[in-house]
């Protein structure tokens, strides 16, 4: 099976712009979660989608949003970018009773 | 709020040495996972522990889940340079949400 894929791998934006990141989960996985990873805060949970519905949401402002399509692919959007949004954004698909997660390589977002 | 504290934060050891990484919380988790992450890549799942007191071995790595399901440890025997990376624990709460630990950066020097 192919692993989790994320596009693009690298992105440079300026403050005030918006960005959309894409994630394709492992075939058969219906749950997709998004995380933000920074050196200072570590890995922080953004949100989880299951069967096109947001099932869980972390403590991030409304500028961060996401959605999931019928084929389980997911996108996350960040509007009105701030310098502090610079981070590695990771997507994970999961399955099973223990929700074992499989991560993609991430999208490195730099906000200038 | 950071629910999972890992220690130590940084660890640099010589090849062949043993080490233990700790993951502690005041919260109870239904399961706990350990991941290793290398630079420029996403975390890779190493193990899932579910039962309090459970011990799992993966070659030279031994994982233990605390009896109260609030803490866990990772012990590496005879560390090798290939073990170098960021080790992360992640607890799954009853709301089906993961909380990641602060991370332990391990460097094994040849």
What are the pLDDT digits (tens) for A91-102? 999 987 778 899
- Measured between alpha carbons, how far is B39 from B63 in angstroms, rounded to an integer? 23
Helix (H, G, I), strand (E, B) or coil at B83: helix
Mean pLDDT to the nearest integer, A47-66 = 94
The more confident residue out of A95 and A54 is A54
pLDDT exceeds cutoff 90 at A47:
yes
Closest CA to B58 of B41, B74, B81: B74
Q: Among residues of chain A, what percentage have pLDDT more than 90?
A: 88
- Residues in A closer than 8 angstroms to B44, CB to CB, are 103
- Measured between alpha carbons, how far is B31 from B49 in angstroms, rounded to an integer? 6
Does residue A25 contact residue A73 with C-beta atoms inside 8 Å? yes
pLDDT at A1: 65
pLDDT at B97: 83
Measure Cα distances from B84 to A8, B21, B54, B62 in Å. 27, 13, 25, 16
User: Residues B57-90: pLDDT tens digits?
Assistant: 999 999 999 999 999 999 999 999 999 999 999 9
- B81: which DSSP letter? G
pLDDT exceeds cutoff 80 at B31:
yes
Query: What are the backbone dihedrals phi and psi of residue A83, each rounded to the nearest 5 degrees, phi first?
Result: -55, -35
Q: Give the closest-approach CA distance of A57 to chain B in angstroms.
A: 9
pLDDT exceeds cutoff 90 at B16:
yes
pLDDT at B20: 98
Does residue A7 contact residue A75 with C-beta atoms inside 8 Å? no
Query: What are the backbone dihedrals phi and psi of residue A85, each rounded to the nearest 5 degrees, phi first?
Result: -80, -5
Assign B96 a pLDDT band (cuts: 50, 70, 90): confident
Q: Nearest chain B Cα to A31, which residue?
A: B96
Q: Looking at chain B, which runs of residues are DSSP E strands?
A: 5-7, 10-14, 19-24, 31-37, 44-49, 55-58, 61-65, 71-76, 85-92, 98-100, 104-109
Contacts of residue A69, defined as CB under 8 A and 6 or more positions apart, other chains included, come to A52, A75
**Do the Cβ atoms of A43 and B88 come within 8 Å?**
yes
Mean pLDDT to the nearest integer, A30-43 = 92
| CA dihedral (B65, B68, B69, B73) positive or negative | negative
pLDDT exceeds cutoff 80 at B1:
no
**46-105 of B, contacting A, C-beta below 8 A:** 48, 50, 88, 90, 92, 95-103
Give which of A3, A31, A43 to mutate to test B binding, by max B Cβ within 10 Å: A43
What is the secondary structure of chain A as a DSSP string?
A: ----EEE-SEEEE-TT--EEEEEEPPTT--EEEEEEEETTTEEEEEEEEETTEEEEE-S--TTEEEEE-TTS-EEEEE-S--GGG-EEEEEEEEETTTTEEEE---EEEEE-
Mean pLDDT to the nearest integer, A69-94 = 96
């Amino acid at each position: 099976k192919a692993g989790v894929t994320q596009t693009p791998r690298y992105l440079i934006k300026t403050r005030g712009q918006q960005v959309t990141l894409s994630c394709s989960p492992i075939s058969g996985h219906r749950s997709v979660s998004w995380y933000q990873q920074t050196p200072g805060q570590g890995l922080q949970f953004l949100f989880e989608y299951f069967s096109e519905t947001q099932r869980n949401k972390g403590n991030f402002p409304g500028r961060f949003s996401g959605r999931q399509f019928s084929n389980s692919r997911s996108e996350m959007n960040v509007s009105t970018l701030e310098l502090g949004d610079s981070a590695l954004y990771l997507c994970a698909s999961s399955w099973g009773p223990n929700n074992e997660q499989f991560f993609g390589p991430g999208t490195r977002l730099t906000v200038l | 709020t950071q629910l999972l504290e890992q220690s130590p934060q940084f660890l640099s050891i010589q090849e062949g040495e043993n080490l233990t990484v700790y993951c502690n919380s005041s919260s109870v988790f239904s399961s706990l996972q350990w991941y290793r992450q290398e630079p420029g890549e996403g975390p890779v799942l190493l193990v899932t522990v579910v039962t309090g007191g459970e011990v799992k071995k993966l070659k030279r790595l031994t994982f233990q889940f605390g009896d109260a399901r609030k803490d866990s440890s990772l012990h590496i025997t005879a560390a090798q340079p290939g073990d170098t990376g960021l080790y992360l624990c992640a607890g799954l709460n009853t709301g089906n949400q993961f909380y990641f630990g602060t991370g332990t950066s391990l460097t094994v020097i040849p």
